[in-house]
Structure 1
Amino acid sequence: MLTLPPVLTHAVAAGFARGLKPELFTGGPAEVVADAGALQQFDSSALAVLLECRRHALAAGKRFSVSAAPARLRELAELYGVAELIPPSAAATT
């Protein structure tokens, strides 16, 4: 599981994305889940980070989903037309 930080704004998003470890996307379970439960301050850059994580997961042959996404993050994803690319995890929909 990939845990997003409490703050994921333009100022820190690139650094967070650069710090993603390749081993998060290889081996292990067939799905990479990004835990967004800690997100408190974010902007559209958080979507860019999630899409980058999705790209890495798909390149490794894995599924990608997001757990505990704040409502505002889901609203941003809808606004930008990318909500279907960052689906909620199966655990979040049950």
Structure 2
Amino acid sequence: MLKLPAVLTHAAACGFFDTVAKEVPSMPGEVVVDASALSQFDSSALAILLECRRLALAAGKGFSVQGASGQLMQLADVYGVATLVPAAPQSPSVAAA
């Protein structure tokens, strides 16, 4: 699982692209991005998510996002990419809580 930092704005995203490029191709199975810590972001966060998706699909892997806030999904909707950043299915223990 790839965890996004709390702050992912343009200034921080440039360096985070290197992390994505290294980690996503080597992840076993489906690529799940944990966005639960993300509290300050701009459209650069969407660019990171779309790059994760692109790399995952290029490697023949599934892709989903876990813990995305309503604000992040609203931004994705405004940019017309909400369907490209699907929510990860909740595990039974999380759904029961």
1:91 CA displacement: 1.6
RMSD: 1.6
1:46 CA displacement: 0.2
Q: Distance in 1 between matches of 2:14 and 2:26?
A: 21
Give identity over the alignment, percent: 58
Task: Indicate yes or no: 2:53 matched with 1:54.
Answer: yes
Flag the structure with larger Rg.
Answer: 2
4+ aligned runs moved over 4 Å, structure 1: none
Q: Which runs of 5+ in 2 are unaligned?
A: none
Task: Report the counterpart of residue 15 of structure 2 in structure 1.
Answer: 15
Give secondary structure in 1 for the equivalent of 2:64.
strand
Q: Which runs of 5+ in 1 are unaligned?
A: none
Structure with the larger helix share:
2
Alignment of 1:75-90 (within 5 A): 75-90=74-89
For normalisation by structure 2, the TM-score amounts to: 0.87
For normalisation by structure 1, the TM-score amounts to: 0.89
The answer as to whether partners of 2:2 and 2:23 remain within 8 angstroms in 1 is no
